[in-house]
Amino acid sequence: MVDLKLVFHDLVQLEIELWNAVDARLRAECDLQLTWFEVMQLLATRSACRIQDVAEEFGITVGGTSKVVDRIEAAGYCRRRANPNDRRSSLVELTPVGQRVVDTAMKIFEAELEARLGSVLPEQELKRFAATLSALRTAGRSVSAPQRAE
């Protein structure tokens, strides 16, 4: 029988170690923390999005998201502009400097993931691992979803 407590511990420790390693490398080579990179990477994939969209993507509060975006904006990596469809919200987008930082950081990010994941497991095992993680996340969301009375 698999010890699920040990699986939990190993999974959490892997996440912490991986986060810390990627964060340290991004800070050292780009002066960019991983939290900022995650948000900026999302902004890079969309022409503009609301704070609410970012918060939903990462499962964090709107207030916390707003504070992170404030700091990224103060660094000159993103800007807010009026939302033409909703005066109550603004749209956030990367600045050209922010896009250059994300492009540089992406190479570092990918290299660190390759060193810590891609070079450790064969391709087939990585595919299986990715599918397993996806299945577990999907199942977790299903368990967490509010149950409706019929």
> Which structural domain, as residue segments, surrounds residue 65?
4-143
In a domain, 62, yes or no: yes
Q: Give this prediction's pTM.
A: 0.86
Distance of CA 109 to the CA centre of its chain: 12
Within a 10 A sphere around the Cβ of 40, how many other Cβ atoms? 24
For the chain, how many structural domains are there in total?
A: 1
CA Rg value for the chain: 18
* pLDDT tens digit at each of 150 positions of the chain: 999 999 999 999 999 999 999 999 999 999 999 999 999 999 999 878 999 999 999 999 999 999 999 999 999 999 999 888 888 889 999 999 999 999 999 999 999 999 999 999 999 999 999 999 999 989 998 887 665 555
In a domain, 148, yes or no: no
In a domain, 118, yes or no: yes
CATH of the domain at 24: 1.10.10.10
φ, ψ dihedrals at 127, nearest 5°: -65, -45
In the numeric block, the tokens 């996440």 are attached to 15
Residue 136 has which token pair? 């577990």
Residues 6+ apart with CB under 8 A from 41: 102, 106
